[in-house]
Structure 1
Amino acid sequence: MAGEIPDLIATERTGTGKGAARQARREHQVPGIVYGGGVDPLPINLHYHDLRKRLKAGRFLSTLFNMKVDGHEDVRVICRAVQRDIVKDLPMHVDFLRLRRSTKINLFIPVEFVGEDECPGLRKGGVLTVVRPEVELVVTAGDIPDHITVDISGLNIGDTATISSVDLPAGAKPTIDRDFVIANVTAPSGLRSDEDEDEGDEVAADEVPTTEQGEEEDE
């Protein structure tokens, strides 16, 4: 289970309807609703500046939150919609879904690399290039992993680690239906430059016109 699910602080909103929502916005709050989970919907208010900061950080719609509301038990939620002002593009209302342990959701899970000390490519001076520091997976809300582990102990220079080589947690699967690259081991920059120069020399030699070669032979 993920150990660092971020808290999202909210207050219960008294009253519903447009009047209560407008009052919340005047108080620098953003009205919202928490629904699902087999219980009644809960109208809430979120602090405007905190919400704006989280929205700017990105992936708000795919982040699992531990919502805290005074007078209510903490509940895990995921955002399902953010309504914005059509002119100013500011958040006006937010919808959250309560999650049961069996609920399937899409989340970005961090990648942890192991086996770097044994990796032959790195021992030869290669460089580990991380393509995806996190991977989006479909996971069960009651069994969210802290991370997925990628073993690079067998990679040589030029090799790649793809999602098919990773042992995913039970019940988890990638949202992308292809064998995508997570990381690769590339040659050090100095070696790559030498190889490029060698290739350039070969190309230059191949590009010498045959007529000139023939004229040299005649002379």
Structure 2
Amino acid sequence: MSEVKLSAERRTTFGKGSARQARRASQIPAVIYGHGQDPQHVNVEGHGLFMALKTPNVLISLDIDGAGTELVIPKAIQRHPLKRTISHVDFLLVKKGEKVTVEVAVHTEGELAPGGNMLETLLTTVAVEAEATHIPESVTVSIAGLEAGATIHAKDLVLPAGSTLAVDGDVAVLQVVAPQAEEPAAEGETEGTEA
């Protein structure tokens, strides 16, 4: 995964008023924490961050005005409940070569065996440990030909080289269920009214 470079500036004022002021200036308030350091409060360029966060677990190189560059990954993103705009971001400080635990999306490919069976998704993401600079965007699993009763566990997922599961391998991720038989209609509903 390539780094996304964004500019940021240190934030010295706090509270809702300063956060609103930052957002009006097309910036997003954020906090950088990790490695036992004191949290750093920054304002990040808004549009660039919005675009970067479209990629899950994106690696961001933050060029902080007057404080150098920090390598971070997003850990928590707060959004406005109605507008869905980004209100605040918590970043985790990482170093090249360091391992981090992140949630990675599970995608499926292929078609189930014929017969009307349905795929039940139990987990949409799975926790994996990977090097900060090589975090997989997603994990793809084949469901081709699976029949009712089949279950795919976390240990069945094929992870990219350098990534390991950070959850119990026996956790069910997907399962195939048989179609439910329709209940017969009540007798009164099927009989027509007699003249």
Task: Answer yes or no: is 1:187 the counterpart of 2:183.
Answer: no
Number of the residue aligned with 2:42: 44
Q: Are residues 64 and 33 of structure 1, via their aligned partners in 2, closer, same or farther at CA, if it must alter by over 3 Å?
A: same
> Partner residue of 1:204?
none
What number of residue pairs does the alignment pair up? 159
The 4+ residue runs of structure 1 with deviation greater than 4 A are 7-10, 30-37, 62-65, 70-75, 79-82
SS of structure 1 residue aligned to 2:173: strand
Output the CA distance in 2 between the equivalents of 1:33 and 1:70: 12
Normalised to the residue count of structure 1, the TM-score between the two structures is 0.53
1:66 aligns with 2:64: no
Distance in 2 between residues matched to 1:132 and 1:169, nearest whole Å: 19
Structure showing greater Rg: 1
Of Structure 1 and Structure 2, which has the larger fraction of its residues in helix? 1
Greater share of strand residues, 1 or 2? 2
C-alpha contact (below 8 Å) 2:8/2:63 kept by paired residues: yes
What does the per-residue CA deviation read over 1:120-171, in whole Å, with 9 as the maximum and x for residues that have no partner?
2xx1111112222221211111211121121212421121111121211222
In structure 1, distance between residues paired with 2:137 and 2:117: 28
Matched AA of 1:104: K
**Structure 2 residue identity aligned to 1:25:** S
* Aligned-pair Cα RMSD in Å: 4.3
1:21 counterpart (13, 21, 31): 13
Give me the identity figure in percent: 27
Which runs of 5 or more residues in structure 1 are unaligned?
Answer: 54-61, 83-92, 198-219
Is the partner of 2:181 in helix, strand or coil?
A: helix
Match of 1:77 in 2: 72
Q: CA separation of 1:64/1:149 partners in 2, compared to 1, >3 Å: closer, same or farther?
A: same
Q: Distance in 2 between matches of 1:46 and 1:104?
A: 25
- Once residues 114 and 81 of structure 1 are traced to their aligned partners in structure 2, the CA distance between those partners, rounded to angstroms, is 29
